[in-house]
Chains A and B, each alone.
Chain A
Amino acid sequence: MNIHEYQAKELLRAVGVPIPPGDIATTPNEAETIARGIGKMVVVKAQVHAGGRGKAGGVKLAKTPEEAKEKAQAILGMQIKGLTVEKVLVTEAVDIASEAYVGIILDRASKKPVFMVSPAGGIDIEEVAASTPDKILKLPIETRYGLMPFQAMRLGFFLFDDAAKARTASKIMQQLYTAFMANGCSLAEINPLVVTTAGEVIAVDAKMVIDDNELDRLPVIAALRDESAEEPSEVLARDASLTFIKLDGNVGCVVNGAGLAMATMDLVKYYGGDPANFLDIGGSSNPEKVVAALQIITADKSVKAILFNIFGGITRTDDVANGIVTATKANPLTVPIVIRLTGTNEEIAMKILTENGFSASKDMDEAVQKAVQLATGGQAS
């Protein structure tokens, strides 16, 4: 789960990371009030789950409260990478002497959280890693011991020669690690970590990604989810315990299992079609899940054909068949449907479908080809 910059900053502030004062505004007037309270030059920053906010015009300096209001007016409601800006962070502007990068990612290869720090901050760390890898220090952390003081000092001295700054930075490393572990992060970064012209070390931007698997035991973090920043169909799907990701094509896919769902999308593409979505109805499907899945898919007006691909292991194919019948009785379909199912209780499922006027195939390739043909009107590329 992504959280906003202002939310990440609150979590970091709570563990002691120095962060410039600021607050969140949803209207230009609120932005003005916050800027007045800060009493100095401010930055108005769009809060959306997208990178490149600055380049898109979503980050602006304001010298006065009135100007903060104007900038907020311009930024609120703008589109950044297809997402509408609903909130801005109004925060004190700092005089930057230098910028560093500090981040922790959960690394698959080492099976550990890995610190990545670089004195070349403020820019895309992937670019730094590609062009000047010697400017990055990577340090895997054994979570049973945590970040040890000597490791934190090593990270601090990699960023700063000056001992006082290195010490401050190492303290920030400890705090970032504490926040990373306590909040179930898969990524936490401060970019940039700024040295101000007055010599202070301070976190000017922050990003955190939370492991979805942590949310059940971290209700406070789970409550940070901003549904307005997500595709409405994906919110609906999550409420129905479905995994759904909207794509650009016109073949709506309903599949059980993530691997098979991806392979089904790929096969649609193989036969010249384009998948409209990824949708996994999960292992122990009940008819209600199928009903919810069909609601979500049929709400997408670009869908020209619906493809079911169900391999019944734990999933009972008769549950899926019942779901299809129930859903289409309540809301008759306006686009053709192609059903492939095999496995547990397939004879019962076939009988249910046939009695209700549906036909079904047992073969995945045959079904996918038919769905593509129907979606493209035989014009598959």
Chain B
Amino acid sequence: MSVFIDKNTTVVVQGITGRDGSFHAKQMMEYGTQVVAGVTPGKGGQKFEGSVPVYNTVADAAAATGANTSVIYVPPMYAADAIMEAADAGIKLIVAITEGVPVLDMTRVHPYVKEKGARLLGPNCPGLISPGQSKVGIIPGRICTPGPVGVVSRSGTLTYEIVYQLTRAGIGQTTCVGIGGDPINGTNFIDALEAFEADPATKAICMMGEIGGTDEQEAAEFVKRHMKKPVVGFIAGQTAPPGRRMGHAGAIISGSSGTAAEKIQAFEDAGMGVAKRPIDFVELVKARLN
């Protein structure tokens, strides 16, 4: 079992003929993901890698292939439109990899996607992977292995680091979900935690947050009130100065709010395990699996 994606997930790649889109479409296909269609306006009728049909619109792609998931690699200024196009075409899971989407665009996207009943992951996220079944996005497949741990994170490479350390220690994953580093995104920690709680195969959850906003505090409250499964948390940015955007648009301490200290405190108050270093996840998770 897994959350959000599994071996039956069928994927349309928006921006499949672009540099990033084509590279990662190939990687997903090599991993075993069912990539059933691509979309690039003006290139409809072509075949990608000799096998995947390319369409001009997501509506055409969805009608012809029945794809239920979309992954977006289009440039930032077109990403909001691409997300809404996917939602309009009836796609149920939309994974927006694109970094640099104007935040005001997302204020329009968010209610639209909600009304259409779709789930959005991202933008500015690495996507997700259910090891051994399917990957949608850019998480390197070889660092993951199937197992009982759910992973949810705001970061890309930090997630890879921790998943890699878990895998090396023989701890596999049900699904790794990257929710992205933007201030306004789709799926949040609570959505992922709720899904992991409901997934029988997931026995423990690793959650990697960072400075900025209050998502981690709200997630900690959710853990305290609604979760039976153990959760181990980590916060990046303990040494970050206030008022500076630390790479991710959402990673900024505003005034005195959004600090690592207050988030770690919220984790502790919720009875979660707290990893001080990335490597600490291994022992903390092991203890909770036994």
Q: Which residues of A are in contact with B by a Cβ distance under 8 Å?
A: 106, 108-109, 111-113, 126, 142-144, 181, 184, 186, 211-214, 216-217, 243, 245, 247, 255-263, 265-270, 275, 278, 280, 283, 311, 313-315, 342-344, 364-365
Contacts and interface: CB of A to CB of B under 8 A. Distances in A.
B248 A258 contact: yes
Given A106-B183, A259-B158, A260-B161, A184 B111 contact: no
A245 B241 CA distance: 9
Given A262-B251, A263-B161, A313-B139, 14 more contacts: A126-B255, A143-B104, A144-B108, A181-B104, A211-B102, A213-B101, A214-B104, A217-B102, A245-B241, A265-B239, A265-B240, A266-B239, A278-B246, A313-B126
Contacts of B241: 245, 247
Given A143-B104, A259-B155, A364 B244 contact: no
A277 to B, nearest CB: 11
Interface string B216-229: 00000000000000
8 contacts: A106-B184, A257-B155, A259-B155, A259-B157, A269-B239, A342-B164, A364-B278, A364-B279
A118 to B, nearest CB: 16
B249 to A, nearest CB: 7
A257 B240 contact: no
B159 interface: yes
Sorted nearest first, the 5 A-B pairs with minimum C-beta distance are: A259-B155, A258-B247, A257-B157, A259-B158, A262-B236
Nearest to B178: A259
Contacts of B215: 108
Given A311-B164, A314-B138, A143 B76 contact: no
Contacts of A211: 102-104, 249
Contacts of B236: 259-260, 262-263, 266
Nearest to A124: B255
Interface in B92-125: 100-104, 106-108, 110-112
Nearest to B157: A257
Interface string B191-213: 00000000000000000101111
Query: Which secondary structure dominates where chain A touches chain B?
Result: mixed
A243 B239 contact: no
A139 B245 CA distance: 26
Interface centre among B107, B181, B215 (most CB of A within 10 A): B107
B265 interface: no
Query: Which secondary structure dominates where chain B touches chain A?
Result: loop
Interface centre among A112, A245, A262, A365 (most CB of B within 10 A): A262
B248 A344 contact: no
Contacts of B158: 257, 259-260, 262-263
B65 interface: no
A243 B247 contact: yes
A263 B107 contact: no
A315 B138 CA distance: 11
A212 to B, nearest CB: 7
Contacts of A268: 239
A258 B139 CA distance: 15
Interface residues of B, number: 59
B211 A213 contact: no
Interface centre among A142, A184, A214 (most CB of B within 10 A): A214
A265 B239 CA distance: 6
B77 interface: yes
B276 interface: yes
A181 B139 CA distance: 34
B210 A111 contact: no
B156 interface: yes
Interface string B231-264: 0001011111100111111110001000010000
Interface in B57-80: 76-77
B107 A266 contact: no
A247 B238 CA distance: 13
A263 B213 CA distance: 18
A257 B247 CA distance: 8
Given A213-B103, A280-B247, A313 B239 contact: no
A262 B246 contact: yes
A16 B236 CA distance: 44
A256 B138 CA distance: 15
A311 B161 contact: yes
B166 to A, nearest CB: 14
Contact of A257 (B77, B100, B156, B250): B156
A261 B247 contact: yes
Interface string B125-145: 010000000000011100100
Contacts of A364: 161, 278-279
Nearest to B155: A259
